[in-house]
A and B are shown apart, each in its own frame.
Chain A
Amino acid sequence: MTAAAGKEAAARGVQPPMSVAPLPVDDSRVSCGPQPDGRIAGDPDGFIDMVQHYDRPLRALVFRLMGSREQMDDVLQDVYLRAFRALPGFRGEAASGTWLYRIAYNVCIDELRRSHRQPRVPLEDYFDEPDPGADPGDLASMRGDLAGALAGLPVDQRAAVLLVDAHGFDYARAGEILGVPPGTVGSRVSRGRAALRRSLGTPS
């Protein structure tokens, strides 16, 4: 979002997405986020205020599953619309973050299955300029390699690795999102990590 667009969005009461904010290292931020209630069911502005709390981590997940910003935006439009439609029946048994993640994962899978399209390596990884502020122990090329290696994983393993390692969900919560038992999450994470190590040449 450009600076001008950000100001315009702020004037409308919409906070621009925080692309530089780090992802939560555990799911506390997700689980302690705002919960839907009667004030936002049927209230687009209230609903948007709520989902913006989760928007960046959801972008991070969906972008890596779908592979392009355009598809990320399309998927998240559907995610938020489905969540909005489902609000009246939301019982609050799951944290709203987990609930949104699960919708997001299902929409991604639906979209990938519908179109048979495979994820793409984002251009910014290909054209990536080394970030002077990054950890000097990281080679510039490794970031692009990691993105490419990640994109090469089957989508179920990729989602499991992202949810557990990047988004900080435990296996039980990740299992709720993926719709599988925690043990299945664990095996997917193990296989995904092993495949990443092979791709990156990292000693296991």
Chain B
Amino acid sequence: MTEPTDVGPDRDLGRRLRSLPVPDHGDEFFDRLRGRLAAESAFTGAPSYRGRSARVIELSAARPQPVRRPPSRARRLVTLATAPAAAVACFALVVGGAVVVHRPGDRGTPRPIESGTRWSADNRTVDRPDRADRLTAAAPYESTERGLAIAFTTRASSRAGLVQSSYQATVTPSGDYRLLRTAPRLEAAYSAEHRTRRLARAAGAGTAPVVEQQDLPLGPPDGPALSTPDRQLSRDLAAAVRAIAVEQPGRVSRGELMGRPVVTLDEPLEPGAGFTEGSQTVDRVRIVVDEQTGLPLEVRLTSAGALFREITVQSIDETPVAPASLTPTAPDEVRPPATSLGHRPVPIDDVQSVTGRAPAVPRWAPDGFQLTGVTVAGSLPTTGSNPASRDVVTLAYRRGYDTFTVTTRLTAPATGPAGDGWRNPLVDGTYLPDRTDPTPLVGGLLDGRTAHVGIYPLVWPHLWVEAEDLVVTVAGDLTRGELVRVAESLTPHTTR
């Protein structure tokens, strides 16, 4: 973006804005319009432009007016609850009563684990809030982990036809990854420990411009789970298939692919269950999932028989991860511009001092999952039709390549319009359908609430529930029963 002048357009920004996609109309748009106009003409007697006295067209200059509502009683209570002890009590009060249910097998609050990967920037200030000014471009990863080397291709329909891309990816159980696309060259490297991602794309024969993104969201609903390069290797699709395989085994088949046990979902989508993009509606899915890693080995989404999006894994091999293999190449002298996405890492014991209330922590998680990250976002702009949210606390859990997140958010900003009620945070703002089932919760902070549970293709298995001024989501590599049990085990975290 170039420096703007006082008047006139910012031409660089304008060029980038004009490169954003513009969807076509639906197929029957002009037929529908023609019908409405014809009806209008018949009703008005086909008025003539000429021969009528001219008049000024009064177009209302309506501008958005803030909708102000008195704060709800619950919100007033939260606002007043500034003392830590009061905050804990308030949290329990507004969420519905701190009824802690201990189930057999409860393991208490999972403990954080250390990532096996270290980010060795030239200086060690990367976990400081002001680190954006301190990072250098030479930030090699040092890793002794074993990971997966994955070669895959994607094909996607576009207005210019099918676009095919080939990728080499390396992922680790700690969540680090490196992604390389050969043509046009694109590199991405992600440090799970620091939620920092670097992206570089070749600029012809010159050096690769690099950007850095910090404080990335730990997972859905605020971002894709960062266990793999999900944007390219849509792991959410695979997670849904695994959950469906547990819930409705008759819908899937099992077999082998590349010598690996796989589960396959290959079925048409019910009307309204797909999503529409441009003029295409995805109406059939074929998703083959590696049972050991949960990675999709084959994804094929079609629209009326035509390819919409395809992912094909050519090879997947366990491999030691050499430090250099996770290093994004960048010229040493370049300091990449850094962008914070707002999800600051905060120790679990410090969340209450940041947000004013104790975080909700599950007292139960499936065997093997451990807490690996906690972030707080003070405020997030709205996406979709949901209101803006603040004090978004995300807890991320990992078990090898499996992940899930528990997120709580206040549903309205401190000032301004109150929320109008929420829609499914996992799909609102996308063209994906909302096909959740109401499920009553028993136990924990959410006792008596009705959760909405979604296990269906194209979306992470997820649960969301409104509780006064909070929206709680659980999403990731979980089955329906696990989602519900995690939600029912939520209790306020107590500082050790």
Q: What residues make up the interface of A, taking CB atoms closer than 8 Å to B? A: 1-2, 5, 9, 14, 16-17, 19-20, 22-23, 25, 36-38, 40-45, 47-48, 55-56, 59-60, 63-64, 67-70, 72-73, 76-77, 80-81, 84-91, 99, 102-103, 106, 109-110, 112-113, 115-143, 145-148, 150-152, 154-156, 161-162, 164-166, 168, 170-171, 178-180, 186, 189-190, 193, 196-197, 199-204
* Residue of B29, B337, B430 touching A201 (CB-CB under 8 A): B337
Report chain B residues within 8 Å CB of A139. 199-201, 209, 211
Q: Is the CB of A129 within 8 A of B163?
A: yes
Chain B 319-360 residues near chain A, CB threshold 8 A:
337-340
The 7 closest A-B pairs by CB, nearest first: A179-B61, A201-B339, A42-B46, A44-B37, A152-B381, A41-B49, A166-B17
Whether B77 sits at the interface, judged by CB under 8 Å, is no
Instruction: Assess the A17–B10 pair: CB atoms within 8 A.
Output: no
CB pair B159–A19 under 8 Å, yes or no, is yes
> In chain B between 205 and 263, which residues have their CB closer than 8 angstroms to a CB of chain A?
209, 211, 213, 231
**A68 and B431 within 8 A (CB):** yes
A41 to B88: give the CA distance in the assembly, Å.
Answer: 66
Q: Which residue of B lies closest to A116 (CB)?
A: B420
In the complex the two chains form, is B382's CB within 8 Å of A179's CB? Answer: no
Q: Is the interface of B mostly helix, strand, loop or mixed?
A: loop
Complex partner residue of A48 from B3, B30, B163, CB under 8 angstroms: B30
B381 touches A19 (CB 8 A): no
Pairwise interchain contact A130-B181, C-beta atoms closer than 8 A: yes
- Which of B13, B199, B213 neighbours the largest number of chain A CB atoms within 10 Å of its CB? B13
Query: Would you call B4 and A14 a contact (CB within 8 A)?
Result: no
B105 to chain A, nearest CB (A): 38
Q: How many angstroms between the C-alpha atoms of A166 and B12 in the bound complex?
A: 10
Q: Contacting B19 at CB < 8 Å: which of A1, A113, A134?
A: A134
Chain B residues positioned under 8 Å from A87 (CB to CB):
47, 49
Check A63–B381 contact: CB distance below 8 A.
Answer: no
B residues 13-49 near A (Cβ < 8 Å) are 13-14, 16-27, 29-30, 32-34, 36-38, 40-41, 44, 46-49
Q: Contacts A109-B62, A124-B278: A80 and B37 contacting too (C-beta < 8 A)?
A: yes
CB-defined contacts of A154 to chain B, threshold 8 Å: 64
Give the residues from 54 to 87 in chain B that come closer than 8 angstroms, CB to CB, to chain A: 54-57, 59-65, 67
Contact check, A118 vs B165: say whether CB atoms are below 8 A apart.
Answer: no
List residues of chain B with CB within 8 A of the CB of A131.
Answer: 158, 160, 163
Provide the residues of chain B in CB contact with A14, threshold 8 Å.
30
Chain B, range 174-189, C-beta contacts under 8 Å to A: 181, 183-184, 186
- Interface residues of chain A: helix, strand, loop or mixed (majority): helix
* Nearest-Cβ distance from residue A1 to partner chain B, whole angstroms: 5
Residues on the B chain within 8 Å of A20, using CB: 159-160
| B residues lining the A interface (CB < 8 Å) | 1, 3-4, 6-11, 13-14, 16-27, 29-30, 32-34, 36-38, 40-41, 44, 46-52, 54-57, 59-65, 67, 132, 154, 156, 158-160, 163, 165, 181, 183-184, 186, 199-204, 209, 211, 213, 231, 275-280, 309, 337-340, 381-388, 417, 420, 428-432
Q: What residues of A have a CB within 8 angstroms of the CB of B384 in the complex?
A: 67, 118, 120-121
By beta carbon, the residue of chain A nearest B52 is A88
Residue in A closest to B429 when the chains form the complex, CB atoms: A120
What chain A residues lie within 8 Å of B231 (beta carbons)?
126-127
Knowing A42-B41, A42-B47 touch, does A166 contact B277 (C-beta < 8 A)? no
Shortest C-beta distance, A35 to chain B (Å), equals: 10
Contacts A80-B33, A121-B430 aside, 16 further interface pairs with beta carbons under 8 A come to: A5-B279, A42-B46, A43-B41, A43-B46, A59-B24, A69-B26, A73-B29, A77-B36, A89-B54, A116-B420, A139-B199, A146-B20, A171-B7, A180-B63, A196-B1, A197-B1
Whether B49 contacts A36 by the Cβ 8 Å rule is: yes
| Complex A-B: 20 CB contacts under 8 Å | A2-B279, A25-B11, A37-B50, A42-B48, A44-B38, A77-B32, A80-B33, A91-B55, A106-B61, A118-B388, A120-B385, A120-B430, A127-B156, A133-B160, A138-B19, A143-B19, A178-B61, A189-B4, A200-B339, A201-B338
